[in-house]
Structure 1
Amino acid sequence: MNTRTRTLTAAAVAGLLALTAACSSKAKDDSEGDKQSAGGVKTGQGISGKTINLGVLTDMTGVYATLGKSVTQAQQLYVKQTNAAGGICGYQLKLTVRDHGYDPQKAVAGYTELEPNVLGFTQFIGSPFVAAVEKRVAQDKALVLPQAWSANLLGNPYVRVIGSTYDYETINAVDFLIKEKGLKKGDKLGHVYFEGDYGENALKGSKYIAEKAGLTVVEQKIKPTDNDMTAQVAALKKAGVKGVVISAGPRQAASLVGVAAAAKLAAPIIGNNSAFAPQLLATQAGPALMKNYWVASPSLPIGADTAEAKKLVADYRKAYPKDSLDNGVVAGWTAASAFGDALKKACADKDLTREGVDKALLTLKSFDNGFGTAQDFSDPDAPSSRESVILQPDKTAVGGMKVVREAGEAAEAKDYAPSAG
């Protein structure tokens, strides 16, 4: 929370928060409060008639536009199928989508607009943006399942990270380099990372395992607008690194791997879960990505050999025949399914208020929708999983990724304690 980027982000949205807080408060004052449905189920904000309204704050036009599109369409598919099967508790689900374009002011404005009218959010892309409204989320009690994995989001019972946070994920990634790619005590580990929440949380993980394993971390901080990694590769090659972690976007990862290949930097490169998109395999960097790049993921890929994955692939292709498959589909489907299971449990407990849905989520201790990792939502201070699957780009695989190591947690991760804030 004390990084320069997060400070600037907070400053950028502070004025908007002040201007919009009054509107949000007024919406609450005007609400009817908790109600009792005909079936004896208590309801509140976000439920109108026989509809459960849910919000989506996504990026369809910015840095993570590819991810945002896949996540959103997967969640729309979940809603369509759920409604066709009768809904939940007799209610139909409705998603209201807002594209913030990875702009902090648009993200906060979108939250302010949707919050009074929705039960919760099945998606909110961008750790800095979620952090900017986190105090309001705690007061509003509208459950948020973000597409963001920063440990800074832990500790709020109404913001629940699905899967391992970036620090855990990076520990698992470096463990793969050590056990499978020959990284050893005394070696230098390069780490290219975005300034701000995402990259700096991942850096905590690489520094932690580096200290345990006797490695030296060579840092290369970049901005989301930095797309050419030539200077970073030159610096890493000069330093003599034997392995590299990249905590950035797909474009930066493709540049890093492609430039490294051209510069004959033979060190294996592994990225966090948001540092790849299958569309990259059609670029000049494609061959290098398939040869010398791996990704740590919170789940099996969309092309996994499970009945659930195969059904999702078939259903998604039928619904969106012109769109490619990627792991954003898995992430979106998983979040929507987890929210849906919480709604079902809340219905069984006859409490579909915001507080009731959050209490229901706390009871999901082994949520598993067929993508390789069981999620435990019982502790708001911890991520729902500390495991990672290691994937490798493969243009012949459905979704462009194949599994090279099943879900697992590094031994060093067992003693690691992430800290929020």
Structure 2
Amino acid sequence: MKKTDLRRLLAAGLTIGAIMTALPACAVQSSSPSGTATPGTLKAVPGFDPAAKTISLGVITALSGPISATASEQIVGQEAYWSAVNAAGGIEGYTVKLVPADNQYNPQLAVQAYQGIKDKSVMLSGILGDASTDALLPILNQSESLAIPSGQSAKFVKEPGLAANFTSYQTNVFNAISHLIEKGEASKDTRFCAMVQDEQSGKARVEALNYAGEKFGFKPGATAHFAPLDASFTAQVQSLKNDGCEVVVFGGAANLTPNLVAAATQLDFKATWIAEFYAIADSFRTSPIADYLSKNFLLTGPGANLDDTSVEGIKNLTSQLKGKPATMQMVYGYIQGITAHAILKKAIELGDLSGDGLRNAVNQLDSVSYQGLQGDVAFGPVESRRLPQTTTLFGYDAAKPYGLSAKEVAYEAPNNNPAF
């Protein structure tokens, strides 16, 4: 990890020195008649040291590169969650540590990052980027390993090697469109369009847009595409303006938003943009783009206002940050910590922390709740899994923490698609 990235995480108020420690890999053998060990005789596997009573989780995220400033905050959120768990005695006496690896938000580096930590972690509690998750799926399946994706494509919920745990892109887009129509800010006569990457996350958003069109009786307009590291969006915004787009589903991260707003301002394009929370960075609150964001962006995500400690998860996260401000990326990581905790607890109960044991643990889980940060996730066998159907909808307000002001907390549109 680069020194600048380490300082960024330390600035969040938490030490991450422990998560950089690589634990020795151990072979796994089972001696019980049923093929699993009892919790008192859990066998060592890569990432689990029964003598030291430590369990290590890998996290593949952007520790460097254009979105590292926000993506690194997911680790802070996970670390906040595990700090509280470990302080209370861990999971059945086992301390949980994180082992981070850098993919720079580049799927071509995801496999390399995984190879560097696969023998140091029992599972991955985060893979940043749908494309990186897609790149790792064949390897996870071949080795019967398990990962929690840091992405929201609905297709991931049916993958046996993944424990998807966020409201999907599809549901967030549908909920946002439903909210606009319900509030009279849009109608079936509105020109709904999209600006997305030409990959899984973009396809998921377009799928939701088409589904919303069927439900609400409109025909979607133009779809413009971009690459994750594009620096100019004049051509895309011009095409959307030429098509008369009034609401645009945007699939970009925070590194792209300033250039997007620059192009929209230059072209006097004043559509409503529907975007995920990670299109925003805290630094935007004092930037020239804040005014455009406040007038034109509707943001989706989990949680609530980041200073609303009446929400259990916000209260607990804030407490662990010890006075430092929370961000929505930290909430995202905190949710991943809750999911990983439930899986590890079940795996220990079943007596097997191997990849196969962790997959079996997910199959044996019922539903997991998230301290008011989002709706429940139904786990169990892949055919019965279900992601949350709730979306918190935010306006942009530079005076609010992280610039997010909740319009609707845990909004759930009527007649949503259960497949999402």
Residues 177 and 268, structure 1, Cα contact 8 Å, conserved in 2 = no
Three-state SS of the structure 1 residue aligned to 2:59 is strand
Larger mean Cα displacement after TM superposition, 384-393 or 406-415: 406-415
2:230 counterpart (223, 226, 230): 226
Structure 2 alignment gaps of length 5 or more = 1-23, 32-36
Q: Quick one: structure 1 residues 383 and 67, their matched pair in 2 at CA, closer, same or farther if it must change by over 3 Å?
A: farther
Three-state SS of the structure 2 residue aligned to 1:81 is helix
Equivalent position of 2:320 in the other structure: 315
1:226-255 deviation per Cα after TM superposition (whole angstroms, max 9, x unaligned) = 233333332222222221211111233344
Equivalent position of 1:117 in the other structure: 120
Q: Which amino acid aligns with 1:315?
A: Q
Equivalent position of 1:20 in the other structure: none
Post-superposition offset of 1:205:
0.9
Equivalent position of 1:157 in the other structure: 160
Three-state SS of the structure 2 residue aligned to 1:300 is coil
CA distance in structure 2 between the partners assigned to 1:372 and 1:130 by the alignment = 22
Equivalent position of 1:14 in the other structure: none
1:119-145 deviation per Cα after TM superposition (whole angstroms, max 9, x unaligned) = 111111111111112122123233211
CA distance in structure 2 between the partners assigned to 1:165 and 1:86 by the alignment = 33
Q: Quick one: structure 1 residues 252 and 113, their matched pair in 2 at CA, closer, same or farther if it must change by over 3 Å?
A: closer
Residues 131 and 153, structure 1, Cα contact 8 Å, conserved in 2 = no
Q: Scaled by the length of structure 1, what TM-score is found?
A: 0.83
Residues 144 and 161, structure 2, Cα contact 8 Å, conserved in 1 = yes
Equivalent position of 1:407 in the other structure: 410
Q: Quick one: structure 1 residues 152 and 384, their matched pair in 2 at CA, closer, same or farther if it must change by over 3 Å?
A: closer
Whether 2:256 is the aligned partner of 1:241: answer no
1:171-215 deviation per Cα after TM superposition (whole angstroms, max 9, x unaligned) = 222222322353222332121112212112211111221233223
Three-state SS of the structure 1 residue aligned to 2:179 is helix
Three-state SS of the structure 1 residue aligned to 2:181 is helix
Whether 2:370 is the aligned partner of 1:365: answer no
2:149 counterpart (137, 146, 150): 146
Residues 38 and 350, structure 2, Cα contact 8 Å, conserved in 1 = no
Larger mean Cα displacement after TM superposition, 367-376 or 346-355: 346-355
CA distance in structure 2 between the partners assigned to 1:244 and 1:267 by the alignment = 7
2:30 counterpart (34, 51, 55): 34
Q: Quick one: structure 1 residues 249 and 364, their matched pair in 2 at CA, closer, same or farther if it must change by over 3 Å?
A: same
Equivalent position of 1:270 in the other structure: 274
Q: Quick one: structure 1 residues 34 and 103, their matched pair in 2 at CA, closer, same or farther if it must change by over 3 Å?
A: farther
Residues 62 and 104, structure 2, Cα contact 8 Å, conserved in 1 = yes
Residues 115 and 142, structure 1, Cα contact 8 Å, conserved in 2 = no
Equivalent position of 2:61 in the other structure: 58
Equivalent position of 1:8 in the other structure: none
Post-superposition offset of 1:310:
2.6
Q: Which amino acid aligns with 2:239?
A: A
Three-state SS of the structure 2 residue aligned to 1:134 is helix
CA distance in structure 1 between the partners assigned to 2:279 and 2:366 by the alignment = 29
Post-superposition offset of 1:258:
4.9
Q: Quick one: structure 1 residues 216 and 32, their matched pair in 2 at CA, closer, same or farther if it must change by over 3 Å?
A: closer
CA distance in structure 1 between the partners assigned to 2:242 and 2:106 by the alignment = 36
Larger mean Cα displacement after TM superposition, 239-248 or 369-378: 369-378
Equivalent position of 2:327 in the other structure: 326
Three-state SS of the structure 2 residue aligned to 1:174 is helix
CA distance in structure 1 between the partners assigned to 2:394 and 2:143 by the alignment = 38
Equivalent position of 2:348 in the other structure: 347
Once the two structures are superposed, the pairs formed by residues 367-386 of structure 1 within 5 Å of their partners are: 367-381=369-383, 382-386=385-389
Q: Quick one: structure 1 residues 255 and 190, their matched pair in 2 at CA, closer, same or farther if it must change by over 3 Å?
A: farther
Q: Quick one: structure 1 residues 264 and 119, their matched pair in 2 at CA, closer, same or farther if it must change by over 3 Å?
A: same
CA distance in structure 2 between the partners assigned to 1:364 and 1:303 by the alignment = 31
CA distance in structure 1 between the partners assigned to 2:315 and 2:39 by the alignment = 39
Residues 194 and 224, structure 1, Cα contact 8 Å, conserved in 2 = yes
Q: Scaled by the length of structure 2, what TM-score is found?
A: 0.83
1:131 counterpart (122, 129, 134): 134
1:63-117 deviation per Cα after TM superposition (whole angstroms, max 9, x unaligned) = 4313321101222232333222222122121211111212333310121222233
Once the two structures are superposed, the pairs formed by residues 56-135 of structure 1 within 5 Å of their partners are: 56-135=59-138
Q: How many residues align?
A: 386
Structure 1 alignment gaps of length 5 or more = 1-26
CA distance in structure 2 between the partners assigned to 1:130 and 1:247 by the alignment = 17
Residues 173 and 296, structure 1, Cα contact 8 Å, conserved in 2 = yes
CA distance in structure 1 between the partners assigned to 2:199 and 2:185 by the alignment = 30
Q: Which amino acid aligns with 2:83?
A: K
Q: Which amino acid aligns with 1:384?
A: L
Residues 181 and 268, structure 1, Cα contact 8 Å, conserved in 2 = no
Post-superposition offset of 1:285:
0.5
Equivalent position of 2:339 in the other structure: 338
Q: Quick one: structure 1 residues 231 and 268, their matched pair in 2 at CA, closer, same or farther if it must change by over 3 Å?
A: same
CA distance in structure 1 between the partners assigned to 2:381 and 2:39 by the alignment = 33
The sequence identity of aligned pairs, in percent, is: 23
Residues 206 and 217, structure 1, Cα contact 8 Å, conserved in 2 = no
